[in-house]
Amino acid sequence: MCGICAGISEKINIIQDVVSGLKKLDYRGYDSCGIGYIDEKQIKVVKAVGQIKNLEKKIQNLEAKIAIGHTRWATHGIVSEENSHPHISQDGKVCLVHNGIIENYENLKSKEVVYYSQTDTEVFANLIAQQQGEPLSKLRMACQKVVGSFAVAVLFEGHDEIYLAKRSSPLAVAVENGVVLASSDISVFAEKFKSCYILDDDEFCVLNSKNAIFFDKNGKKIEKNCVFLKNYDFFADKNNEKYFMLKEIKEQPMAIRKTYFEYFSKENKLDFELLKKFKRFHFVACGTAYHSCLIGAKYLKEICGKDAQVSLASEFRYEKNIYSKRCLYIFVSQSGETADTLACAKMIKDKGYKSLAVTNVPYCSLNNMCDFVLPTFAGKEIAVASTKAYTCQIFTLLIFAQMLANKSCEHIKKFALDFKIQNLREDVLQFIFQFKKIFFVGRGQDYVTSLEGALKLKEIAYLNCLGIAGGELKHGTLALVDEETLVIAISTQKGLKEKMENCIEEVRARGGKVLLVSQFEHNVKVDCKIVLPDFKEDFMPIISVVPLQLLALNFCLKLGYNPDKPRNLAKSVTVE
C-alpha cells in the first residue's frame, strides 16, 4: 500500500506541504514514514517509525525547496527505520519513495551492492543508479526491467527536479501558484489546487519548480488533460466525534439518502437501458466489498431473475477459462484502487469484455478501467474498517437491480427517508464484553451479514471470530462451541426463521450463549437480543449490519485500541 507525496517550489518551504500531504495519506499505511530532500545539492533523508508526528519531531525547522515523502505499510521487511522509505542507492546518487511491489526484486539484486534494508524498493533505487544516461532515461530503463507495481518519486543527485513513474499504483500531479506537488491520492491537492493530472500506467513525469512535463514509455513528451477538483468531496473531519469510524457509522442514513437522491435526480445520466441487455453478471471484489457483492448477486437473481455469481478478486485472477462475452463483470471497491480488483478489471478489459465499476472515489483507477461506472455516494471514508461505504454499496446494488427489472423504487425512497441508527443498549454491550470466542451465524443474506460482522470484529478488536452459514455449524464448527462461546445469530428472513431456531438450539444444547439479532419473535430461548427495526427483507442487510459495526467499535474501544487505524492493515490495499 503506502502513500507518496513529493513537492517542489522556488517560493516556499515545501517540507510543510509534503508532510501535510503525508498526513492525509496515512490511511494508506502508518507503520513508518520518511522524507528525502535536497540540501545544498546533496540528498538527505530523515525517517521515523510509527506515525507522521514522530517524523515531524525530527524535522522541526527543516527547510527545503525539493522533497519526496512516504508513509509505509510494510510488505517486504519488518517495520524499522532501515526498511522505511526513502531508500538511497549505494552510490548515494538516487533517492526513491515507492508505493507498490517489485516482484522480481531478488533477481534484480546486484552482487556489487550491499543492501541495508530487506525491501524491494532499495533494489529498485540501485537498479536506477546502475542505468546509463540522463535521469529520465535511467528511470525508464529501470522500469522496463521491473515486474510488479509501482508509483515512484525519485531524486537524482545534482538535479533540481523530481522524477515520477507509475504502473498499477496511483499517482497524480498538481501545479499552481509556484508549487508543484505529486501524490498517491488527489485529496492531497484539495486546499491549494483547482485541478490536477492523473498519470496513466507506464507514463513518466518530471517536476521542476514551475511545471510538470509528461512523457510516454518511449520517453516522448506528451500533453495530458487535467481533471478539475471542484466537485470532489475531499473534506473529512471527525465532526466532533472522537473517531472517524463512529462518525462514519452515524453518517449511514445521510449517505443512503444522498445515494437515493443522486440516482433519482434529473441530472443522473447513467443509462440503465444499456445494462439491461446483459443476461449474466459476475461480481468481483475483496474484503467488505466482496460481502456487498454477495448481497448484490442475490438482488440480481431474486429481483431481476438474472444469472449472477461472485468471486474474490484474489482468486478470480488465477482462474482459467471462465470468461464470457455476454456477461457484465461488476467490480466493487470503495477505493477503486485495490490491486487485486484492478488486476481482474484489467484482465477483463484486455479480453474485450464489458465491465462496470461500483466505487466511492471519483477519478479512481477502477473507474478509468471499466466501461460503466455506478458511483456510491457514501462520502469520503477514512476509517480503515469500511462501514458507510459497505451499506451504500448494498443500497446502490439494490437500486441497480430494481432499475434493471423495471420495478418501482418508491419503497427504496421510503427506506432512504426512514432509515435511522439505533445505539446499542449498555446491557447488550456488557453481555458481549464477557466473551473472547464469538461466532456469527446466519443463513441466506444473514450469512453475508455474519461474515461482515466477524470481519469488523477481527479487524479492529483483534478477536479470533468467524462468520458461519447456519446450516454449516453442525458440519464442524459446533465442535468449538462450549460455555465460553458466544454465538451471534442473525435472523432477518421470516422464511428461514425455523431453520435459525434449530441452529440456536444446537448451540444452546452445547452450553453456548446466544445473542439474537432480529426484527421478529423466535420460539427459542436466547441469552440476549438486539431488536432491529422492521423493514422489507431486501433492506435488512443494511439494517442488521449496523449493530454489528457498533459492537465491533465498542469492543475495540473497551480493549483500548484505535478503531481508525487497526494494526497491520491499511485503507487502500494497492498491493497483491
CB of 419 to ligand AGP, least distance (A): 20
Q: With binding defined as CB under 6 A, does residue 385 bind ligand AGP? A: yes
CA distance 194 to 311: 39
- Annotated catalytic sites, by residue? 2, 571
Q: With binding defined as CB under 6 A, does residue 170 bind ligand AGP? A: no
Binding string to ligand AGP for residues 334 to 353, with x set by CB under 6 A, is what?
A: xx--x--x------------
Q: With binding defined as CB under 6 A, does residue 512 bind ligand AGP? A: no
Q: Which of 4, 123, 142, 384 binds ligand AGP (CB under 6 A)?
A: 384
Q: Which residue has the cell 443512503?
A: 256
DSSP per residue, 360-419: SSTT-HHHHHSSEEEE-------SSS-SHHHHHHHHHHHHHHHHHTT---HHHHHHHHH-
Find the angle CA(75)-CA(80)-CA(84) to the nearest 5 degrees: 65
CB of 307 to ligand AGP, least distance (A): 24
Q: With binding defined as CB under 6 A, does residue 288 bind ligand AGP? A: yes
The residue (of 154 and 457) whose beta carbon lies closer to ligand AGP is: 457
DSSP 352: T
CB of 286 to ligand AGP, least distance (A): 4
CA distance 29 to 51: 9
Find the angle CA(50)-CA(53)-CA(55) to the nearest 5 degrees: 75
Residue 288 grid cell: 467488505
Distance of CA 108 to the CA centre of its chain: 30
- Order of strands across the sheet that contains 212-215: 87-88, 94-102, 148-156, 162-167, 203-207, 212-215, 221-222
DSSP 536: -
Q: With binding defined as CB under 6 A, does residue 355 bind ligand AGP? A: no
CB 527 within 8 A of CB 514: yes
Q: Which of 17, 573, 574, 576 binds ligand AGP (CB under 6 A)?
A: 573
Q: With binding defined as CB under 6 A, does residue 55 bind ligand AGP? A: no
- Amino acid code (one letter) for 154: V
Query: Which is nearest to 190 in space by CA: 153, 230, 237, 226?
Result: 230
Interacting span for ligand AGP (CB under 6 A) from 46-54, 133-141, 189-197, 328-336: 328-336
The residue (of 183 and 292) whose beta carbon lies closer to ligand AGP is: 292
CB 566 within 8 A of CB 73: no
Count of beta carbons in the 10 Å neighbourhood of residue 163: 26
Binding string to ligand AGP for residues 517 to 546, with x set by CB under 6 A, is what?
A: ------------------------------
Exposed e or buried b per residue across 45-55, where buried means at least 16 C-beta atoms within 10 angstroms of its C-beta = bbbbbebbeeb
Q: With binding defined as CB under 6 A, does residue 375 bind ligand AGP? A: no
Q: Which of 99, 386, 402, 445 binds ligand AGP (CB under 6 A)?
A: 386
CB of 288 to ligand AGP, least distance (A): 3
Q: Nearest-CB residue to ligand AGP?
A: 287
CB of 448 to ligand AGP, least distance (A): 13
Q: Which of 168, 333, 402, 554 binds ligand AGP (CB under 6 A)?
A: 333
CA distance 41 to 399: 58
Q: Which of 5, 165, 188, 286 binds ligand AGP (CB under 6 A)?
A: 286
Binding string to ligand AGP for residues 424 to 463, with x set by CB under 6 A, is what?
A: -----------------------------------x----
Count of beta carbons in the 10 Å neighbourhood of residue 423: 11
The residue (of 30 and 535) whose beta carbon lies closer to ligand AGP is: 30
Q: With binding defined as CB under 6 A, does residue 165 bind ligand AGP? A: no
CB of 99 to ligand AGP, least distance (A): 15
Interacting span for ligand AGP (CB under 6 A) from 286-294, 319-327, 405-413, 472-480: 286-294
Q: With binding defined as CB under 6 A, does residue 289 bind ligand AGP? A: yes
Q: With binding defined as CB under 6 A, does residue 188 bind ligand AGP? A: no
Query: Which is nearest to 448 in space by CA: 551, 312, 539, 541?
Result: 541
Interacting span for ligand AGP (CB under 6 A) from 118-126, 300-308, 350-358, 381-389: 381-389
* Residue numbers at the binding site for ligand AGP (CB under 6 A): 286-289, 333-335, 338, 341, 384-386, 459, 572-573
